[in-house]
Copies of this chain bind each other. A is one copy, B any other.
Amino acid sequence: MSIEAVDFFYLSMPKVEDIGDGSQDALVVRVTADGVEGWGECEASPLVSIAAFVTPMSHGACKPVRDVVLGKTIDSPADIAAMSAAVEMECMDLLQAAHTFSGIEMALWDVLGKKRHAPVYELLGYKRAYPKLPYASQLFGDTPAETLAGCRKARESGYRAVKCGWGPFGKGTLKDDRDHLHAAHEGIGADGTLLIDAGQIFREDVEAAAQRIAFLEEVNTVWFEEPFLGGAYAAYAGLAAKSPKVRLAGGEAAHNFHMAQQLVDYGKVGFLQIDCGRIGGIGPAKRAADYAAAHGVTYVNHTFTSHLALCASLQPFAGLEGHRICEYPFAPKSVAWDMSETHLTPDANGEVNVPAAPGLGVTMSAAGMKRYLVDVEISTKGRTLYRSPTL
């Protein structure tokens, strides 16, 4: 098959709020090869990732992603890997290229799976997909009472695992943080799985983060996510050495396999969180999952947007039975919900199952996407480089 077209659809809520909710907009990609359509999603900042697809070349190692993708052959997983390697070399100096290509790469796997009538996880070498335990991801409340109410609601909605993050955590007193942690614990229940996300609030300050470890242990926190800036591996390793029970989690910002590997090797995380919409797609994410599994680290998807992104992000670790927890878009904005007809709702056991259908197993909704399509136009020298396609 030859890649005939790559179309980007920038979807957005009418109003995007200044809150930590990543489901307010989306960049959906459609790849067409020999009449087969595949879908993927880039994370985040739609306009910038579109620009990286269409931008004029700066030099031989700074080409638009378009030049590396259009017209290329896609008949096997090896073809996808070759294209990923070509993007690394030919778009070397174009930082955003990794995000742009991530959605395209997902769509290429979708195309290939549809062509071969096989789910993507089978193309990745997995014999079957194991169910995952979804966690409901939410912000800490402004007060402990709000945090309690939020976690209780998640539990009542059937979630056995909850992640609380951002908001006031790390910004007030130690007592404030402790109160929020106990509120979350009470809300999710003593048998629930509690995950805490610090949202990089401590930057590189190991001592400040370490002061919270005893409180995290009191409420049986399973992981402590992103206490520091994504690349501050020495800080991660320093805190990991002080926290034998509560293991660290990180990796969502990784925009290539090596950054994921580094968090394991140098950051000493216990949980590796990979966003398929950033790391370069499903192929590098699978490599990260293999690396994690081989090093005693648990792989987890990072997914805060749609069920298209969710279906893609589950593939790389679908066959790893022991890697149980998955991030699940708990309360996405309507744009993230409406874009697809397929939704992975938890089953009677409260678990999420990867579709056994060909490709990513997602049926998109043209009507759903159409309601949120943002009209974009980019031109240079009077020539239009991009105009939002119709749906």
Contacts and interface: CB of A to CB of B under 8 A. Distances in A.
A260 to B, nearest CB: 10
Contact of A52 (B58, B96, B262, B266): B96
A265 B234 contact: yes
Contacts of A62: 22, 44-45
A46 B58 contact: yes
A51 B17 CA distance: 20
A90 to B, nearest CB: 9
Contact of A258 (B25, B45, B231): B231
Interface in A27-81: 43-48, 50-52, 54-63
B380 A379 contact: no
Contacts of A380: 10, 47, 374-377
A382 B378 contact: no
A300 to B, nearest CB: 18
A45 B94 contact: yes
Contact of A20 (B59, B200, B253): B59
A58 B44 contact: yes
A48 B51 contact: yes
Interface residues of A, number: 69
A44 B16 contact: no
Interface string A264-297: 0110000000000010000000000000000000
A311 B378 CA distance: 32
Interface in A363-382: 374-382
B56 A93 contact: no
A18 B64 CA distance: 12
A20 B61 contact: yes
A54 B50 CA distance: 13
A281 B18 CA distance: 26
A229 interface: yes
A212 interface: no
A17 B56 CA distance: 11
A52 to B, nearest CB: 5
Nearest to A226: B92
A315 interface: no
Given A234-B265, A377-B378, A382-B375, A58 B45 contact: yes
Given A19-B59, A22-B59, 10 more contacts: A12-B56, A21-B60, A22-B93, A44-B62, A47-B55, A48-B55, A48-B94, A92-B230, A229-B258, A374-B380
29 contacts: A12-B56, A16-B56, A17-B59, A19-B59, A21-B59, A21-B60, A25-B58, A45-B52, A45-B58, A45-B96, A46-B55, A46-B58, A47-B380, A48-B48, A48-B51, A48-B94, A85-B203, A88-B229, A93-B253, A95-B96, A95-B99, A95-B255, A231-B259, A233-B258, A234-B265, A262-B262, A266-B266, A374-B381, A375-B382
